[in-house]
Amino acid sequence: MTKVVLITGASRGIGRATALLLAQQGYAVGVNYLQDQAAAEQVVSQILEQGGKAMALQANIAEEDEVVAMFAALEQTLGPIDALVNNAGILFQQTGIEQLSAERINKVLSTNVTGYFLCCREAVKRMAWRHGGQGGAIVNVSSAAARLGAPWEYIDYAASKGAVDTLTTGLALEVAAQGIRVNGVRPGCIYTEMHASGGEPGRVDRVKTLLPMQRGGQPEEIAEVIAWLLSDAASYVTGSFIEAAGGR
């Protein structure tokens, strides 16, 4: 039976790489996007061309009504959800705390934290045994910044990812007895559009010498970690975090 996965922020970067990999592994994939419909449709087309199943799902995960509608559309078209990858996130240009506004902070938190909570809530409603679900797995994409507080990271972004780690740990404890595994991945310096567009193009190349492995990571490398955590090979793993940060 085909498993169904929803990946938020799947039109580019780590989300896109994860969508393509999981489709190759036999998942039917919900490709969530916020604005770039063309990019999301390109991911869907590539999956369909390779014989897989996929659909594009436009939703702002910071908006509760849109999240609820997205899960309903996924279930109606692809079937009951088996896996969720919380990956969507926003990152603004680096700045000191004295220049941070409430508007910017709230935008970061509403997507990077509230959005993750809402998607986890809707997934649990459908996966939990007590609701007649078949169990499942959730992977929350966090950041090495949540653990390191690295000087080149953005403080509001790092704080939001610290909250994601707390969500991951708490939810794993809450739903383990309902057949749902919840784990986190903490990517480090990865070559993605997010890092290129956050006000510092070339940032990964500038900091890679600080890493033990002396290089930045590729989205496909993070996708492999996510896929493993969702798989039966990780069936006894929950409440755990994998550092995918080049050794730092």
What pLDDT does residue 146 have? 64
Considering the candidates 33, 116, 154, 157, report the single residue annotated as catalytic: 157
Instruction: Kindly report the backbone phi and psi dihedral angles of residue 25, in degrees, each rounded to the nearest multiple of 5, phi listed first.
Output: -85, 5
Q: What is the percent of the chain with per-residue pLDDT over 90, rounded to a whole number?
A: 73
Query: What integer best gives the mean pLDDT of the chain?
Result: 90
Q: Is the pLDDT of residue 239 over 60?
A: yes
* Model pTM score: 0.92
Q: Say how far apart CA 208 and CA 219 lie, in whole Å.
A: 15
What pLDDT does residue 151 have? 46
Domain 4-244 grouped into CATH 3.40.50.720: yes
What pLDDT does residue 152 have? 45
Q: Residue 15: in which H helix or E strand, if any?
A: helix 13-24
Phi-psi group of 72: left, alpha or beta (phi > 0 → left; psi -120 to 50 → alpha; rest → beta): alpha
Active-site residue, 33 included = no
Q: What is the mean pLDDT of residues 88-113?
A: 89
